[in-house]
Amino acid sequence: MKEFSTAVEVVEGEETGEERQIKFKIDDRMMTAYPPTDSQMAFMLATMGRGQTDETRFGSMVTLIMNTLKEDDRDYFESRQVSRNNSIPMPVIEGIFEYIIEEWSGNPTQSPSDSAPSLESAGT
């Protein structure tokens, strides 16, 4: 019979105590997210794929964001989500998700002024 071990592996930066952090703000609160584990990435890919409903995809976004946030930020995010009068709108959550995915992948979106200029045409 095959057995699987769940022994903890060293996470990037763990040996120095400095795990990579992704910072963003929700209103005036600075939030900290950590890169997802391999299993969190697999979960995200599985729940964002073909055949999933928009509701399932959105729920997966919220779940992944919450589970990569620093603990006190997770509590804040959750309390905002269940707030009757102060919840975070869906477009904002989608924006947060896109931003942290770009940061995790190492391909952050640049504003047009930050991007490299277009190459000039060499003529006809």
Reported as a single tens digit per residue, the pLDDT across 26-77 is 998 999 999 888 888 888 888 877 888 888 888 888 998 999 999 999 999 9
CA distance 55 to 48: 10
CA distance 98 to 61: 9
pTM: 0.66
Question: Residue 19, SS3?
Answer: coil
Give the list of residues 6+ apart from residue 58 with CB closer than 8 angstroms, or none. 90, 93, 94
Question: Residue 87, SS3?
Answer: coil
Q: 71-109: per-residue pLDDT in tens?
A: 999 999 999 999 989 899 888 998 998 888 888 877 555
